[in-house]
Amino acid sequence: MISKSILISSTLHQKPISADFKYISSSIKKPLILFVHGFKGFKDWGVFNLLSQNFAKQGFIFMKINLSHNGTTLENPLDFADLEAFGNNNFTIELNDLKDVIDSVVSGQVEIPENEIDIDSLHLMGHSRGGGLVLLKAREDERIKKVVTLAAINDLTTRYPDEVLSAWRKNGVQYIDNARTGQKMPLYVQLYDDVINNAERLSIPDAVKEMKQPLLNFHGTADETLPVEMAHQIKQWKPDTELVIFEGANHVFEAAHPWKEDELPKLFKQIVSKSSQFLKD
């Protein structure tokens, strides 16, 4: 199995995008899956390396990235060592990051031989907030052929009660707890301003209604972060969505960080199997 780590330059935001990819070398050109982590996530979280290996075994090139402002650093890829970057992140930055990555893949700047990659078969996969991000990106980039979402957020404008918004605006920042690390992580009010000031581009409901690519959407009925109703709403907005609901599954489909097992949890094995079939059809 070929495995490489690379850096991709951000054209607008002065921070590099770190990435890695895996594939099994063969004489057949392979489709590429670009995977996007969620909020308080990173490319090497929990089961994501195993996920990459399993998709490679299914005949894909699997690339996962650290969004440029996710709070990790090149020196500390598993920790939130740059909380200022985290606090100053927003969806416009993340969409621009995805464009930079896709441009790099299509232009051949990524270290994948031409005889290994089918650049006409690029797919997006995202978890949680990353799921919302790939829905937005698919609408604005016709180079993307299919989309898979895992516990995706379906709206960016209805997450904050009025009292939270009022205090956020007054203080300029709110802090969220990271239960795993014990950090208080800043979110500057520019995040919300970005959503309001770029309402058309950042409307997930509109993006889903307008996107032309086939969509496969996984969600769990016991999702404690983003309720399963979000998945059903996405299905309403895009009736041809292939919706897979896991009874009793939580937001991370029974995975955890760190993940100390050598195999994926059962639900992630099903995600790999179902997604592989969906993307190859």
CATH number at residue 125: 3.40.50.1820
Helix (H, G, I), strand (E, B) or coil at 219: strand
Residue 194 lies in a domain: no
Which pair of structure tokens corresponds to residue 169?
Answer: 């605006």
243-279 pLDDT per residue, tens: 999 999 999 999 999 999 999 999 999 999 999 999 9
Q: Which of 238, 95, 213, 203 is CA-nearest to residue 144?
A: 213
Residue 184 lies in a domain: no
How distant, in Å, are the alpha carbons of 179, 256, 272 from that of 266? Answer: 25, 13, 10
Phi, psi of 206 (to 5 degrees): -65, -40
**Residue pLDDT, tens place only, 189-228:** 999 999 999 999 999 999 999 999 999 999 999 999 999 9
pTM of the complete model: 0.96
How many Å apart are CA 6 and CA 10, to the nearest integer?
13
CA–CA dist 231, 239 (Å, integer): 11
Please give the Cα distance from 154 to 232 (Å, whole number): 10
- The tally of domains found in the chain comes to 1
Q: Is residue 163 part of a domain?
A: no
Instruction: Note the residue count of the chain.
Output: 281
CA–CA gap between residue 177 and residue 172 (Å, rounded): 17
Which of 195, 219, 79, 73 is CA-nearest to residue 133? 195
Does 253 reside within a domain? yes
Tokens of 222: 């016991």
pLDDT interval class at 181 (50, 70, 90)? confident
List, in sequence order, every residue forming a beta bridge with 146; answer none if it has no partner: 123
Q: Which residues contact 15 (CB under 8 A, 6 or more apart)?
A: 68, 69, 85
3-state secondary structure of 20: strand
Domain assignment of residue 236, given as a range: 2-155+201-280
Identity of the residue numbered 131: G
From the CA atom positions of the chain, what is the Rg in Å? 18
Indicate if the pLDDT at residue 2 is higher than 80. Answer: yes
The yes-or-no verdict on residue 159 having pLDDT over 80 is: no
- Evaluate whether residue 230 is within a structural domain: yes
> What is the pLDDT at residue 3?
97
Residue 158 has pLDDT above 80, yes or no: no
pLDDT given for residue 4 in this prediction: 97
Confidence class for position 10, pLDDT limits 50, 70, 90 = confident
| pLDDT band per the 50, 70, 90 thresholds, residue 97 | very high
User: For residue 185, is it within any domain?
Assistant: no
Q: Which of 217, 237, 221, 239 is nearest to 229 (CA)?
A: 221
Confidence (pLDDT) at 9: 87
The pLDDT value given to residue 180: 85
**Structural domain contains residue 124:** yes
Does residue 59 belong to any structural domain of this protein?
yes
